[in-house]
């Protein structure tokens, strides 16, 4: 199947999602959430956003406002696994910056961290690393989420163990 056929199928699926939510409260959020799930890399492509805007009659600028306001929407391809490091004050004082640096070394992405990026995906698309201002679990600092599961009092050794469990079989590049 070529790219055009894939896009056409995706647009048909988006049209179905739009029909399902048409006229319901919060329809744009629901449409965008389900559209993001269609993509294997869990992000909203420019083509998908344009299609949603066209089919719903919502101006593209408003669609982008919604997508960029809510943190669960992604405009870039995501890795198979996500690791989110809290950078709030309590976590920072308990060593979350060192955890983030160690994470970059473990996954071979220390250059991205050196460049000041707070969001990046490994070249093999296995991991997306991001930061969050606060998980609201300050008494349990430092806090890290791996694939949506929050872990408290995280150390580098524990982080390495968590990554080891999910990266078994991952090809080294």
Give the class (CATH, top level) of 81-166. alpha beta
Domain boundaries, the chain: 3-69, 81-166
Report the alpha-carbon distance of residue 56 to residue 164 in Å, rounded: 44
Element (H, E) at 148: none
**Whole-structure pTM over 0.75, yes or no?**
no
- Residue showing tokens 């055009």: 4
pLDDT for position 122? 87
Q: Which of 145, 152, 115 is nearest to 128 (CA)?
A: 145
Six token digits for residue 144? 């890290």
pLDDT for position 169? 47
């Amino acid at each position: 199947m070529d790219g055009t056929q894939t896009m056409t199928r995706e647009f048909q699926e988006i049209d179905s999602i739009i029909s399902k939510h048409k006229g319901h409260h919060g329809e744009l959020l629901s449409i965008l959430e389900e559209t993001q799930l269609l993509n294997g890399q869990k992000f909203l492509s420019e083509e998908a956003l344009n299609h949603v805007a066209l089919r719903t009659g919502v101006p593209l600028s408003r669609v982008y406002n919604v997508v960029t306001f809510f943190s669960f929407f992604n405009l870039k391809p995501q890795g198979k696994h996500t690791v989110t490091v809290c950078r709030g004050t309590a976590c920072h004082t308990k060593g979350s910056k060192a955890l983030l640096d160690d994470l970059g070394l473990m996954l071979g992405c220390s250059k991205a961290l050196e460049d000041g990026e707070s969001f990046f995906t490994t070249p093999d698309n296995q991991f997306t690393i991001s930061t969050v201002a606060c998980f609201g679990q300050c008494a349990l600092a430092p806090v890290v989420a791996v694939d949506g599961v929050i872990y408290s009092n995280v150390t580098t050794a524990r982080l390495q163990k968590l990554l080891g469990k999910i990266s078994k079989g991952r090809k080294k590049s």
